[in-house]
A and B are shown apart, each in its own frame.
Chain A
Amino acid sequence: MTSRLRLSVLVAVGALLVTACGGGASPSPTAAPPESAAPATVEPTAPPAADICTAPPKAPAGTTLTFASYGGAYQEAQRKGWLEPYAALTGVTFQESEDSSNATIKAQVEAGQVTWDIVDVGNDFGLDANAALLEPLDYSKIHKDEILDGFAGTYRVADITYGVVLAYNTEKMGGQVPQGWADFFDTTKYPGKRGMWDYSAGGIFEFALLADGVAPADLYPLDLDRATRKLDTIKDDLVFWTSGAESQDLIGKGEVTMTMIWNGRGYSAKHIDNKPVEIQWNQQIVTADYLVVPKGTPNKDLAMDFIAWATCKENNAAPSDYIPYGPTNKLATANPDKVAELSVTNADANSAYFNDAWIVENAQLLEDTYQEWRTK
């Protein structure tokens, strides 16, 4: 064997080991969902500083805030709608991370090395269960009374709302329009595969129960036996997706004829990819992403200023210029072109809301039940 070839074999094996061992990055879900049916208590709060919405305090020269969210078109909308205008107003410089992860927050806080100042998180994070990881929000700055009822908590305030919805591929419906989750489970009337998010707390149980006739208001506590029995009826037709991009692709290509999807991804399938995809808003789950501040960040006060500003009625709807995710401030006005595409606009008596407190409390039960059902 020539020495050159021998060397190349050695190098190749070394490179392979590195590649294989480093290849485990997870395709993180692009946007996780949120909180809701929490009782709508509006606590009396001190009147927020009158001008934070239009003239937020200047940041000391050289201040850098790190904003972590879920990347992609979503974070770009947040960047253009909030970060760039806020930077221009206050002189702050934003650093961004595009891989928001509850695990990273936990790791940073436990190590005492907090580098994220403001984090956009999903609906299953930021309740009292995570008190050790988060700073209480400063409601002397945030206009809590203007935020949708139930969407502002001790450690988190919703920044955008979205819907977990049913989307269908119009070319595979035989001219019919599925009316809700009962039709999703009816593979006789609507043949074809069905997409679901591969996550125990993402809505799969809720939608099974809605399909089985449970009223949105009566969902919790979830009847998991009933839900899994319902899911069994279409188990062989289910395709599980693990990222928003995957759901958008599956429904756009017609690999599945209907899917659970985040409404922004359904919108992109139709308007960006130009695929024959429509959203059925009936029986959607209205939910939200939240802003939190990891405990121990040296920029706590500046982070609070930003969160207060971004949830003001003047500013909160700005990302809707770029993506169909709606405001959480009741007085904010979304982009008129997008209003019809927003979860909150389409919310009605049939809409459901996640009970985040129950979900967090029962996370282990949900996961065990889900995996027991799914892997069998």
Chain B
Amino acid sequence: MTRGSGRRLRGGGPIVDRWALLAIPLIAFLVAFFLVPLIVVSLRSVADFPKPTDDVFANYGRFFDSAANLRVLANTFWVAALSTVVCLTLGYPYAYLMNIVRPRVAGLLLIAVLLPFWSSLLVRTYAWQVILRDTGIINTFLLDWGLITEPIPLIRTTLGVMLGMSQVLLPFMVLPIYAVMRRIDPEYTKAAANLGAPPFAAFRRVFLPLSLPGVLAGSLLVFVLALGFYITPALLGSPKDTMISQFIANAVQQRLDWGIGSTMAVILMGLTLVVLFVASRFIRLRDVFGSLEES
């Protein structure tokens, strides 16, 4: 498993490997169920109006006319950024720990971080409600023991949203970082130590920079995934934690206003692409999506 052989396989010589034909079903699937709907949604945003109009950008006008839309759009990116910071703060040390323990223990740690995925998102979120609310486990315990007289606001706060979201998103941070850390030759840090670097300096000047591709990859994954959340913020947050996907669902499901729903979706996607573009100035996106295969 040298890097060279990996690259050659993926790089593709002049001959198309016949095995590549196996990708055709997936490509067909993506075109039919992703690309085509994407085009339809984009067209709807400039062609589907509740009232007849000549202005193809009427839906965009409606969107930007509403202060609530802009507020919620900004909040969506704020919550996504906050989730990323929380996941990184929790996830980096965790991945580091996985990297230095024996493989068997690393496997257990891996299972631990994946455990939440064995239950559905909705069940997990309701479980958080049971734990966090005013009549929930934590507050009941503290009240019964006389440690507090009024319930602590845990649910319907941004803290609640962060708990719920980071539990879901943490693996997307931990796994890419871990995969990159595995690739860092332990000899580098040893060499740094040999040359007189104290442990922290060796970490900061050698290990940390080498692990940065994983950090960026994980952060990007978490950020982009977090942009699409809305059930968790709706159930654990306050109205101020509303995210744009909830507005999209409202428009599509309750008001049947698919034009404005499509418009919001296109705006969210456009801004997400902007984030990816900006990110691509700093990292190679291939590292993000290829960081796991060569480990």
Q: Is A372 an interface residue (CB 8 A)?
A: yes
State whether A102 touches B254 (Cβ < 8 A).
Answer: yes
The contact string, 1 if C-beta is below 8 Å from chain B, for chain A 155-167, is 0000000000000
Residue on A with the closest CB to B116? A19
Q: Scoring A residues 4 to 20 as 1 if CB is less than 8 Å from chain B, else 0, what string do you get?
A: 01101110110110011
The 8 Å CB contact of B172, one of A16, A26, A253, A374, is A16
What is the CB-to-nearest-CB distance from A16 to chain B, in angstroms, rounded to a whole number?
5
Partner of A16, one of B75, B103, B171: B171
B68 engages A255 (CB within 8 Å): no
Most chain-A Cβ atoms within 10 A of its Cβ — which of B103, B122, B240, B256? B256
Q: Which residues of B contact A2 (CB under 8 A)?
A: 103
Q: How many residues of B contact A (CB 8 A)?
A: 53
> Residue A375 contacts which of B50, B71, B231, B256 (CB distance < 8 angstroms)?
B71
Which of A12, A239, A374 lies in contact with B114, CB distance below 8 A?
A12
CA distance A372 to B69 in the complex (A): 8
Q: How far is the CA of A2 from the CA of B242 in the complex (A)?
A: 43
**Docked-complex contact A10 and B135, CB < 8 angstroms:** no
Contact A371 B66 (CB under 8 A): yes
Q: Are A375 and B68 in contact (CB under 8 A)?
A: yes
Tell me the complex Cα distance, A255–B114, Å.
31
Majority secondary structure, B binding face? helix
Taking the closest CB of chain B, its distance from the CB of A362, in whole angstroms, is 11
A27 touching B293, Cβ below 8 Å: no
Q: State the total of A-B contacts with C-beta under 8 angstroms.
A: 114
Contact mask for chain B residues 245-261; partner A; CB cutoff 8 A; 1 contact, 0 none: 10101101111111000
A20 to B221, CA, bound (A): 11
Q: Which residues of A contact B135 (CB under 8 A)?
A: 253-255
- Which residues of B179-215 are within 8 A (CB) of A? 179, 182
User: Is residue B168 within 8 Å, beta carbon to beta carbon, of the partner chain?
Assistant: yes
A2 — nearest CB in chain B belongs to which residue?
B103
Q: Report whether A12 and B110 are in contact in the complex, using a CB–CB cutoff of 8 Å.
A: yes
Number of A residues, CB within 8 Å of B: 44
Bound form: Cα–Cα A280–B179 in Å: 59
B contact set with A: CB distance below 8 Å: 50, 66-69, 71-72, 75, 103, 106-107, 110, 114, 117, 120-122, 133-135, 156, 168-169, 171-172, 175-176, 178-179, 182, 225, 228, 230-231, 234-235, 239-240, 242, 245, 247, 249-250, 252-258, 292-293, 295
Q: Can you report 8 residue pairs joining A to B where beta carbons are below 8 Å apart?
A: A6-B182, A12-B110, A19-B121, A23-B121, A28-B253, A199-B254, A253-B133, A371-B247
User: Which residues in A have some Cβ–Cβ distance to B below 8 Å?
Assistant: 1-2, 5-6, 8-10, 12-13, 15-16, 19-20, 23-28, 101-103, 106, 124, 130, 193, 198-199, 201, 239-240, 242, 253-255, 363-364, 367-368, 371-372, 374-376
